[in-house]
Every structure is written in structure tokens, then in C-alpha cells.
Structure 1
Amino acid sequence: MENSTALTSDSGTLACMSELSGPLAAIAAEHRGLVTRQIARARHISPSVVAAALRTQALHRLRPGIFVDQRVWAATQAHDRFALLVRGVLLGHPHWLASHHAALALHGLPLFGVNTSLVDVAAAVTTSKRRAGLHVHVATPAQRALIKDPESMAVSVVDACLLTAADHGFVSGVVAMDAAVKRRETTVDALSTGLSSSAIRYGAEQARASIEAIDPKCESPGETRTRIILTAAGLDVRSQVSLSDAEGFIGRVDFLVADRVVVEFDGAIKYDGLDGKRALMEEKRREERLRDAGFRVVRVTWADLTRAEVLVARIRGYLAAA
């Protein structure tokens, strides 16, 4: 029997959902919350049981024939939900490897500017095939070797970064490559060598440009995006610069432009509670010291990155006035 439970949905409203139980719960427990129609059928679970779980919201549909325990879905952060979809696709096809940005998701690397309704996979096929929400690519010899390894679920980090850059563009590539190199999951040389030996035809120049723009000092996709905008505008930018004054070390700033303007990217910073208030006071004191030392300080949010020309004009204005 399914147990009815009140959960808070993404919108913050309460929704009455049923707790997954019985054979479907057993499947979900074995596969990190995932259930497929194929596995249910193999265990002689009636389609009506799956339909009932969907109707009562015990299961959440990821794509036709692939589902996830609603509790797992609700507890998964938005940026990790695509990885759930990818794992669900692979669950029904053990001889496929996640590729492109689907592989980035499984490697835990950041995604930016990609289509998360599309899952790319590599398989031992002779012709690439595409259907709704799925693109099956012809695996390279190296990828075919990985397919034979039951522990492998994705193409290499190098392949994932290069293919994402080639298919989704320069910015998507740099965001992934910055993170991969910073985490020491690959190197600039490995990416360059990988591109030289790859079969990438379309988008190779985008991938090459992404490699040339790598800066592993950037600590988040937001910082990478900020740096790309500033350098594209022709500004002299240095990342993660340590600054001091007469009192000593002030701190390490995200970017220093022309040695005069400090640019800090603010992501989802929260200053709630006692610790948050203390952090806010420390941040204000740090900024005061930077200004007293003669630096102008520009704080950048995700919203600012959608108005690049305004951001650049503001920084140029500070430089002109300095």
C-alpha cells in the first residue's frame, strides 16, 4: 500500500504525494531512485501499477519509460536533475556511454548553455541516430573500449569537454574546461592532444578557442563567464589576485582589471543567521579597505552577465575616472 505524505514542491506549495512502496520501491532502492518500464516489465509488475504510482505522484516521469522516485526528485538540486535523466537513459542501455554534456553531468562538471532536454550517448553503432530527446553517436575506438568496461558510464573528461565545446560553443566549453583543469581531472595539454587526435570536424575551432581561454584560477561558472566578458571587451584582467594595504593582507579578489578596478562575482551568497551577519560585516570591512587602498569595487551577479555591455561600460567608467 502507498503511504500519503505531504512534501514541499519546488514552488514552495504543499503537494500531497504518495510514498513509493512494494516492488517499485525495491527497484528504486537498487538504482538510486530510478525505475524503468523495462525493468518493471522484467519483474512482472503490471503497467497499471506503474500508472497508479504516476497518478498518485509516487513516481516522477523523466522521459517515456523512465521514472524516478518523487522523493528523490524533490530532494535533488536543480543542477543535478539532468544527471538523473542521463542515468535513467543508461539504465535501460548498459552498452551506451553518456557523451557530450551528458558526460559532463556524470563527471560532476558544470553545465552552461547546453540543452538539458537532450541526452547524448556514444554506442557501438555504425550510424548516428537522433530521436526526441536522444542523440546516439558512433563511438570512437577508445570509447568502444570503455563500453566494454561495466564500471564506465561516460566518455572521458577530455572527450566530454571537447564535444561540448564543439556542439554547444565557446562559453559552454570554457566553463567545463576551467572546472576540469582546476579539479585536476585533466590538463590543458591533454585537451590539446585530445583535440588533435579526435575525429571532431564541426566545431573544432570552437573547441580549440575554448582550450586557449582556459583559466583554472576561476572558481565557478559565474567567474568564468565574467572573465570571458571582460577579456572579450579587451580589458586587462587578472584572476584571483591577492591584495594588501598598510595593515597587511586584505584578501584575494576574483579579478583585478588594469590594476585599478576590483571585480567580484557574487553567486547565491546568503547572509542569514548569526554566521551570515558576521560574514556580511567581514565582507563590508574588506570592501572598505579595498576602497581606502584606492581600488574601485564592482560586484557582479548573474543578472549583470545578461547585460554585458552595461557591465563593461561601468568598469570602463571607473578606469577613466581613476
Structure 2
Amino acid sequence: MTSLLRTLSDISRDYPLTFAVAVLDAAIHSSLVTWPQIRLYCEAHPVRTRQRQIDQALALADGRRESVAESICAVRFVEFAIPGFEPQVTICDESGKFVARTDFANKLAKVLAEFDGAGKYHLPGRDPRQELEFERRREYKLRNLGYSVFRLRWQDLFSADVFLRIKERVTRATAKTP
């Protein structure tokens, strides 16, 4: 049996980056460990091989992400060289009134990425039609504020298409920004 920190280090070394980042994010998000604890452990226990992979997983870990899908999405942003996305960003209107908390936002480019897990529409005590209507209105408000909204599904996480479209939108928007 190994410690949690050792297990996280081993996973970061031995598993694909998307899986390693998802595990690190979940451990940090759940307050099982902190990012500094993991980093300090890895620095104190260097490995002979694949240290770069551990370093990359640590660099991408972020406990603000709330799901495996969000962690995979964040890794895809890096793999497709899409800059500027922050997780769990609060968007307010011009008067400072709360509009939404988004999975990912690039505020400079005014581009949002939302992961659509179908499960949230079918939680006990919730009406799927009302949940879909709430999401429609929320997205309408975001678009009225000038944001482009990309909705991602599981299959999108393993395809280049949507990430190339996001990259193109970010590139066009930031090229216009002085």
C-alpha cells in the first residue's frame, strides 16, 4: 500500500496525461491534497524516468475543475494550443449582476466552453424540460453579452473539430483586440 501522494505521482508518471490530470484535479478539488503538497512530494521524490510527464501533469492540474470531462477539456486546450481559458468563471452583466458561472471562459476573446453532461437534466426532483429551458435562457443572456458559447459533449472531447473551431474563434477575437 502506498500513500496518496505516491499514488498521484505514479499515476502522473504512468498514465496518459488526460487521465493523470483528471485524477490530480479530483484529488485537489475534493481537498484530499493540495497542489503544493503534490508538487513538494514530487520534488522530494524525483523519478529516474518520465519526470517530464509528471511535471506536465502537475503544471496542468487545477482543483477548480469539477468533473473528469472538464479536466480532459483543459488538457485538450493545451494540446490544441488554445490560450486563455480559465475554469469556473463568473460572468456578470454590465451592471455587475450575476448571469452565469461557466465551465471555461476566455474573457479576452469572449469565448465560453460549456461541457454538457446529460445527467444534470435528469437529476431526481428536476424536470428535464425546465432544466433545458433554464440552459437556453442562460445561453441567450451570455450571447447577448457578446460571448460565443461552445457546448461540448463527451464525443467532442475525443475529436479535433470543436477544438479547432474554438481555436479559430479565439484567434480571430484576439487578433481584433489591441
TM-score range, shorter chain: 0.7 to 0.9
The TM-score, its normalising length taken from structure 2, stands at 0.84
Would the aligned equivalents of 2:8 and 2:24 in 1 still touch at CA under 8 Å?
A: yes
| CA offset digits 1:233-275 (Å, max 9, x no partner) | 1321111111112572111001112441110011233535862
Taking a change above 3 Å as real, the CA distance of residues 270 and 246 of structure 1, as seen in their structure-2 partners, is: same
Q: Which residue is 1:301 aligned to?
A: 153
Structure showing greater relative contact order (alpha-carbon pairs closer than 8 Å, 6 or more residues apart): 2
What is the rounded CA distance, in whole Å, between the counterparts of 1:314 and 1:187 in structure 2?
Answer: 34
Q: Which residue is 2:13 aligned to?
A: 166
Q: Greater strand percent: which structure?
A: 1
Name which of 260, 266, 277 aligns with 2:110. Answer: 260
Would the aligned equivalents of 2:20 and 2:57 in 1 still touch at CA under 8 Å?
A: yes
Which stretches in structure 1 are left out of the alignment for 5+ residues? 1-96, 98-154
Q: Which residue is 1:234 aligned to?
A: 82
Would the aligned equivalents of 1:265 and 1:300 in 2 still touch at CA under 8 Å?
A: yes
User: Any residues of structure 2 matched to 1:149-228 within 5 Å, and which?
Assistant: 155-198=2-45, 200-228=47-75
What is the rounded CA distance, in whole Å, between the counterparts of 2:131 and 2:55 in structure 1?
Answer: 40
Taking a change above 3 Å as real, the CA distance of residues 164 and 244 of structure 1, as seen in their structure-2 partners, is: same
Taking a change above 3 Å as real, the CA distance of residues 199 and 214 of structure 1, as seen in their structure-2 partners, is: closer
Q: Which residue is 1:288 aligned to?
A: 140
Taking a change above 3 Å as real, the CA distance of residues 198 and 241 of structure 1, as seen in their structure-2 partners, is: same
Partner-residue secondary structure (3-state), 2:142: helix
| CA offset digits 1:204-230 (Å, max 9, x no partner) | 221121111111111011001111111
RMSD over aligned Cα atoms: 2.1
| CA offset digits 1:135-162 (Å, max 9, x no partner) | xxxxxxxxxxxxxxxxxxxx22211111
Taking a change above 3 Å as real, the CA distance of residues 204 and 169 of structure 1, as seen in their structure-2 partners, is: farther
What is the rounded CA distance, in whole Å, between the counterparts of 1:291 and 1:196 in structure 2?
Answer: 44
Q: Does 1:311 align with 2:167?
A: no
Would the aligned equivalents of 1:195 and 1:204 in 2 still touch at CA under 8 Å?
A: no
Aligned residues: 168
The TM-score, its normalising length taken from structure 1, stands at 0.48
| CA offset digits 1:77-135 (Å, max 9, x no partner) | xxxxxxxxxxxxxxxxxxxx3xxxxxxxxxxxxxxxxxxxxxxxxxxxxxxxxxxxxxx
Partner-residue secondary structure (3-state), 2:131: helix
What is the rounded CA distance, in whole Å, between the counterparts of 2:82 and 2:112 in structure 1?
Answer: 16
What is the rounded CA distance, in whole Å, between the counterparts of 1:183 and 1:271 in structure 2?
Answer: 23
Q: Does 1:250 align with 2:83?
A: no
Single out whichever of 222-231 and 195-204 deviates more from structure 2. 195-204
Identity of aligned residues (%): 28
What is the rounded CA distance, in whole Å, between the counterparts of 1:182 and 1:311 in structure 2?
Answer: 26
Task: Give 1:312 shift.
Answer: 2.1
Partner AA of 2:119 in structure 1:
I
Which stretches in structure 2 are left out of the alignment for 5+ residues? none
Would the aligned equivalents of 1:169 and 1:207 in 2 still touch at CA under 8 Å?
A: no
What is the rounded CA distance, in whole Å, between the counterparts of 1:303 and 1:168 in structure 2?
Answer: 21
* The structure with more radius of gyration: 1
What is the rounded CA distance, in whole Å, between the counterparts of 1:261 and 1:198 in structure 2?
Answer: 40
What is the rounded CA distance, in whole Å, between the counterparts of 2:72 and 2:86 in structure 1?
Answer: 14
Name which of 243, 246, 269 aligns with 2:119. Answer: 269
